Structure 1
Amino acid sequence: MVGQDEAGGRAAHDMRRVTRWAGLVWLGPTLLTLIVTLAGIDRAQLWRDELATWSAATRPVGDLLRLAGTIDAATGPYYLLMHGWVAVFGDSTTALRLPSVLAMAGAAGLTALLGQRLLGARVGLLAGLLFAVLPGTSRYAQEARPYALATLLAVLATLLLVDALRRPAWSRWAGYAVAVAALGLTHLIALTLLAAHALAVLTTLRTGERRAWRWLVALLPAVLLAAPLVLLARGQRSRQLDWVDLARLSDLIALPSGVAQSGPVGGLVLGLAALGAARLGRRALLSGGCVLLPVLLVFAAGLVVPLWVPRYLVFTVPFGCLLAGAALASVPVAPALTLVALAGVLGLPDQAALRRTHEWPRSATVDYRGVARVIADHEQPGDTIVFSPRDSWLFPDVGTAYHLRGRRPRDVLVVRDQRQRADLWASECDRPAECLAGVRRVWLVVTGQRNNPVAAVPGAKGAALRDGFTVQQVWPRPGLTVALLTR
């Protein structure tokens, strides 16, 4: 009896140790993601979308609300969040990107936890580690935009749904409701994830219809909060997405490399995910649905309206990693970890490239910092500055302003700036020659590489510059050209 008691005690002790370590399955993926994504976080310059975030987040709250009525309504809640963050932590490149880094690290940890709940600790750990080393994880962790936060909330909402379905209680459904509402406020397109959640709920109807009703009730806050954003964003679509084309089959084929930010890594994850889904069978329903249903819904919508942008679907990547983790878990630990390491090695060239620039292709660098440095080194009191084109999505004025931080020469042609217009672009005077009267020196910043930047300025603005000024020096920079003009 004593021996049996001792054996039972050792077994219980071993079980407690296993349980304790299984509860830490999230720790490795979280720490690895932090290490990878913090490396070189400020090396790549803020790109155009991040400059829009900076422009919006540094405005007073009242101006932010006015901006949402003009453009970027769908991103308005994220801008409000960043407004508070910037007020506390500042607007350096690292500070602006840090919320996304923390969100991606949290997403990796939650991916491991979700995998543990659905498929076991080993699957969860491997899925979280695989997610951590993807170039796409670094790319969107190092971007001051809402995609990383949406990824975190997508995994969190799915994890809370699994808990609520297994152990129904209003407190768990309340947590799920909050997560889904936050997901909708962060990224409207991520609400397509609810199609997969609906599928998961439907599979439980045999054991109790009350769960379906509770799920529907839990969606009400998201509907009430997201509906106004949907209406505003719908009216802004022609302006917001005028650069997006209708979806084509080739876009769907290219999606894995787009969200993974690497062709070889995207192909590897897709192959592993397919193997994992085949191995899991019905157990792949939730994870597979969280990948396939949002992708198919957005693609179908993109065939009718210009909506298909691969980065809008980054929130599906953790669920693909769960399927891949199931395939990895079918082999011994050493080969599984070797495959995870292989994904990391294959992605190294893309990891290095995305830390040089966030533009695509990676050769299309836009050197706002270089332009600002030229102006700062040669500026004199009374200098003015002119930008062309003014309505460019490259935001040459915002990029220059960010790097000069209040030391920029007077924007001589502006009659209503971005805040006054409640827009991302400023308005210029109708008679440029009159606005330039009395100006002795002008810094001209134009998009693209220009040997004769003044000749690239169209209309009355170009005529006023050509008639009244002489080009003293030209400094070509990647993606931009800056010139000094004197009367």
Structure 2
Amino acid sequence: MSIDERGPAVARTASPPVPARRQAPGPARAVVVIAPMVLTIALGLWGIRRKNSMWGDESVTYQLAHRDHSQIWRTAQHVDLVHALHYSVMHEIFGLFGGGLLTLRLPSVLAMSVAAAGVGLLGLRLAGPRAGLLAGLVLPLLPQVQKYAQEGRSYAMVCALVTWATYALVVSVPHRARWRWAVYGCTMLLACLLHEFAVLALVAHGVTLAVSRVPRPVLRAWSVAAAGVVAGLLPLAIYSAGQSGQVAWIGGPVSLPGLLAVAVVGVACARAPLGVRGPVRLSALALPTLLLPGLLLLIVSPVKPLFVDRYVLYSSIGFALLLGAWMDYIHRWQPSSRNSWVAAVVVLAALVPPSLSLRTPQSRSTDVIAIGATVREEGRPGDGLLYLSGRHRIWTEANPEDTRFLTDLALAQDPASSNTLAGIELPAQDIAARMLEFDRIVAVRDPAGAHSPTNPQEKAKTSTLRSHFREYGTTHVNGARVTVYVRDHGLSPKAGPGSDGPGDGVG
């Protein structure tokens, strides 16, 4: 036997042949859509209230979505312009279904279920029914996806829109109909208007088409659609650049081990012959989607730190597609292997602890409901209320009843009437004068060791507390401290429940 005759035989034993695309039967398509949706909704509803907790960013959504559209857009001129569309959408949802905690989070659950269905259809089209089903089921099992599927922010909606824009891209390549490209462009633009960094998925799509060597008419059609998306996003990007101080909190070294692990797994999966023959291969689509958005943010981080995993949550689409198609490949290669089942059980068991943890209040950096409740418990009618710093006023705005009987000592204009998130504060000397009118002040502070702003108002607050008050008791809450201060010349009040006891200083 010649070398040329032996070559194909060796190749056939190394990996199964890549089949040509075949039309999936109707029942298979239905399962690929319905099963991931059901799993995502089930996981999303499991512990969705997180023991009636709400973290700071969700509180911003909650507060702004309760304002009318004109107030939302006036506020967006000063802060959070990038999320203005999401606040407007949530305002309408609150108007229809009420503005409670479940209504805040259910849109994200439903959006992520739509994303899972889209991933299933992508996998079905690019790798067959079983790969599509597995990919669709993998997505809702990912811890990051579970986290933001239960959060009242825009990230799940963006993930759903990017998923379906990607599906529109894949469908448009062979058909080339203009209306299909219009659907792709409109879906991508909507995703970008909900969050600007969705535009990085557009870059990934361009790389996918480039490595797939699609015909020039396809590249031309995509370029027109991409130009429309960029043109539609440009005004928002320009105006929001003036609010870049909002992301000043992003900094410090990025935790790379987790990112590298996901990247390594994705690249390893892509080395297998995944998917079916077609103008766009699964690996060529999934790998740029997984790697490029986060990589681009990391590249600019030395100049302007911008990387936050939730900003590129949609990169999970690529990971789910690669892992689902790889599991399908392993099943075709070793259909009766027990090792595959053992590995699946081990992975599912490993996902249980993080899944449980994500449904606790401690899984988020703050719990504004607990902070507000602590202020209510520690405060007495007529006490002064002080926020160190003033931006922490948003922590108690979700439930005004918590601070109803307290006097906000620094507030000049409330958040709603001033079209801001935290209101407008008095000049420094006025704050100090008002503080001296009270014998007892409840202060809402950062956690111990956190950095606080040093503007004149904050300096006046801390210096007045240090000079004329003493710390009587502190209650530590998730993400904050609530401290009672009393004047030195006054009678020492009884410590509130849960307090640490007498102390001093403004640490």
Report the TM-score when normalising by structure 1: 0.81
Distance in 2 between residues matched to 1:353 and 1:432, nearest whole Å: 41
Q: 1:278 matched to which residue of 2?
A: 271
Distance in 1 between residues matched to 2:302 and 2:447, nearest whole Å: 32
Change (3 A) 1:419 1:401: closer
What amino acid sits opposite 1:73 in the alignment?
L
Structure 1 residue 163: deviation in Å? 0.9
Q: 1:351 matched to which residue of 2?
A: 355
Distance in 2 between residues matched to 1:251 and 1:485, nearest whole Å: 38
Indicate yes or no: 2:394 matched with 1:398: yes
Fraction of identical pairs, as percent: 28
Partner secondary structure for residue 143 of structure 1: coil
Deviations 1:99-123 (A, max 9, x none): 1111111111110110001111111
Distance in 2 between residues matched to 1:64 and 1:186, nearest whole Å: 14
What amino acid sits opposite 1:390 in the alignment?
G
Alpha carbons 2:28, 2:129 under 8 Å: kept: no
Distance in 1 between residues matched to 2:133 and 2:345, nearest whole Å: 14
Structure 2, unaligned stretches of length 5 or more?
1-21, 275-280, 450-456, 491-507
Change (3 A) 1:461 1:385: same
Alpha carbons 1:129, 1:340 under 8 Å: kept: no
What amino acid sits opposite 2:369 in the alignment?
R
Q: 2:44 matched to which residue of 1?
A: 37
Partner secondary structure for residue 385 of structure 2: strand
Alpha carbons 1:273, 1:320 under 8 Å: kept: yes
Structure 1, unaligned stretches of length 5 or more?
1-14, 257-266, 451-456
Change (3 A) 1:357 1:337: farther
Deviations 1:81-100 (A, max 9, x none): 12222222333222211111
Alpha carbons 2:196, 2:233 under 8 Å: kept: yes
Partner secondary structure for residue 444 of structure 1: strand
Alpha carbons 1:473, 1:484 under 8 Å: kept: yes
Structure 1 residue 388: deviation in Å? 1.4
Q: 1:460 matched to which residue of 2?
A: 460
Partner secondary structure for residue 23 of structure 1: helix
Structure 1 residue 433: deviation in Å? 3.9
Distance in 2 between residues matched to 1:17 and 1:131, nearest whole Å: 21
Change (3 A) 1:308 1:449: closer
Indicate yes or no: 2:112 matched with 1:104: yes
Distance in 1 between residues matched to 2:95 and 2:42, nearest whole Å: 26
Partner secondary structure for residue 482 of structure 2: strand
What amino acid sits opposite 2:307 in the alignment?
W
Change (3 A) 1:437 1:77: same
Q: 1:137 matched to which residue of 2?
A: 145
- Give the number of equivalent residue pairs: 444
1:21-170 paired onto structure 2 within 5 Å: 21-43=28-50, 45-170=53-178
Report the TM-score when normalising by structure 2: 0.78
Distance in 2 between residues matched to 1:458 and 1:201, nearest whole Å: 53
Distance in 2 between residues matched to 1:84 and 1:206, nearest whole Å: 42
Partner secondary structure for residue 284 of structure 2: helix
Distance in 2 between residues matched to 1:144 and 1:331, nearest whole Å: 38
Alpha carbons 2:37, 2:116 under 8 Å: kept: yes
Q: 1:331 matched to which residue of 2?
A: 330
Indicate yes or no: 2:371 matched with 1:387: no
Change (3 A) 1:149 1:405: farther
Q: 1:422 matched to which residue of 2?
A: 419
What amino acid sits opposite 2:293 in the alignment?
P
1:430-469 paired onto structure 2 within 5 Å: 430=427, 431-436=430-435, 439=438, 442-448=441-447, 459-465=459-465
Alpha carbons 2:59, 2:368 under 8 Å: kept: no
Alpha carbons 1:127, 1:324 under 8 Å: kept: yes
Of 205, 226, 240, the residue aligned with 2:246 is 240
Alpha carbons 2:294, 2:307 under 8 Å: kept: no
Deviations 1:306-343 (A, max 9, x none): 21222222111111111111210123368656544433
Distance in 2 between residues matched to 1:271 and 1:309, nearest whole Å: 19
